[in-house]
A and B are shown apart, each in its own frame.
Chain A
């Protein structure tokens, strides 16, 4: 057989660009939300007001931003807050979150899994377990289907 049959470069061609009626995902409009204020959150963590820090970071997620750097920075801040928590305090903090914030928290937990820095794994799994106990499978499905990614 000739060498040409082993050539799989054709798989790298993007044929969808030639489709006239291609679906453009333009539903997410950039509304300028750039994520939580790093200094403010650091101050709250230093003071030990972790539940407040959690509320702050979850109320301004940059989900509409098209800039990946903004999203990365926000994710780092959230990771700092999540790892600062002691296991026993997590339940109390989750109780004060409403449905929307819980969904955003679940998105950040999965973002944390993606970023996979060494120390975080175990703590993130504890968070995942506790949030799942409250919200069930629905919030995990919403992490997967929601196009406004965190």
Chain B
């Protein structure tokens, strides 16, 4: 694993380019910074400053090389690289509250955006007028949409919301794609059709993730639980109540292994083998072995002088991240076999973790 610090400000969101040589991050303000990898260091090469509100979501489409950003100023922009400069295109969202999260679809012909207006906007490009249009999914969402994830078939969309429910909708847009075939989640999929609504005792759904095949859906809730719905097994829900602080991000590493991270500043590994079989495997961050060196008399006196105590109190956390992890992203490997994933947190650090299957 490797750690890189982007400064003192929290990193609200991040996205990688196709060959992982560039990373787009937002340091908790209205700008997006793009860094280029040079050896072990990262150098800033671009600053995207179109937004007037805090950036809440960034996603980088690997094949078409477009970046979509959304912010609390109720806007989203799609950026394309022209003559080595990123140029924004406005998206007509028609929302009256902040945008909270954004995700490109697997085929990159549309993207979904969640907002505090209790609406999911599925946006696609209209050639005649050269702009991005949006279609809204409104019912029955009753509160802010906190997270989104696309199914591999490019049609189904999972949304986690602060009305304590996790839902699966159809994001089928007939102007740009063909009718989809039936899946384990359902067969009739007109736009906006809800195929699953599942809630738990009362935690906001912070993050959702489809498995590589799309047959199961994992989500994490603020009630410190991780839940998995299995479409292949009659949509049964398996719940695991954890003993940790709430998790904020979840990611599938292969068909059965799940990694989740959150306010405990450490990624945890879970394994889902089938209904009622969701188990906690272990921490992915192994704590540093604190070598207790015998303190010299000079150290004792120095501590007494500075801190009025002779104990060597180390106030750092044992984990690599020193503050909550806000987002997890695949770095190496495709969805069905992730070998490296990245985490960013409120401490301004980005850590790349290795995972062996």
From A23, A99, A142, B223 is in contact (CB under 8 Å) with: A142
From A21, A27, A138, B199 is in contact (CB under 8 Å) with: A27
The reply to whether B164 and A99 contact each other, CB–CB distance below 8 Å, is no
The reply to whether A141 and B245 contact each other, CB–CB distance below 8 Å, is yes
Interface bracket on A: 10 to 19
The reply to whether B241 and A145 contact each other, CB–CB distance below 8 Å, is no
Whether a CB of chain A sits under 8 angstroms from the CB of B201 is yes
Whether a CB of chain A sits under 8 angstroms from the CB of B299 is no
- Given known pairs A23-B163, A145-B222, A145-B223, the reply for A137 and B199 (CB within 8 Å) is no
Interface bracket on B: 10 to 19
From B142, B202, B243, B246, A136 is in contact (CB under 8 Å) with: B243
The reply to whether A142 and B224 contact each other, CB–CB distance below 8 Å, is yes
From B201, B224, B244, A148 is in contact (CB under 8 Å) with: B201
Q: Please, how many angstroms separate the alpha-carbon atoms of A141 and B242 in the complex? A: 10
Q: Which residues of B contact A145 (CB under 8 A)?
A: 201-203, 222-223
Q: How many A-B residue pairs have CB under 8 A?
A: 51
Q: Please, how many angstroms separate the alpha-carbon atoms of A6 and B190 in the complex? A: 57
Q: Interface code B130-148, partner A: CB below 8 Å = 1, 0 otherwise?
A: 0000000000001100000
Name A20-51 residues within 8 Å CB distance of B: 21, 23, 27
Question: Per DSSP, are chain A's interface residues mostly helix, strand or loop, or mixed?
Answer: helix
Q: Which residues of B contact A27 (CB under 8 A)?
A: 164, 199, 202
Q: Interface code A125-150, partner B: CB below 8 Å = 1, 0 otherwise?
A: 00000000001111101100111100
Name A75-129 residues within 8 Å CB distance of B: 99, 103
Interface residues of A (CB under 8 A from B): 21, 23, 27, 99, 103, 135-139, 141-142, 145-148
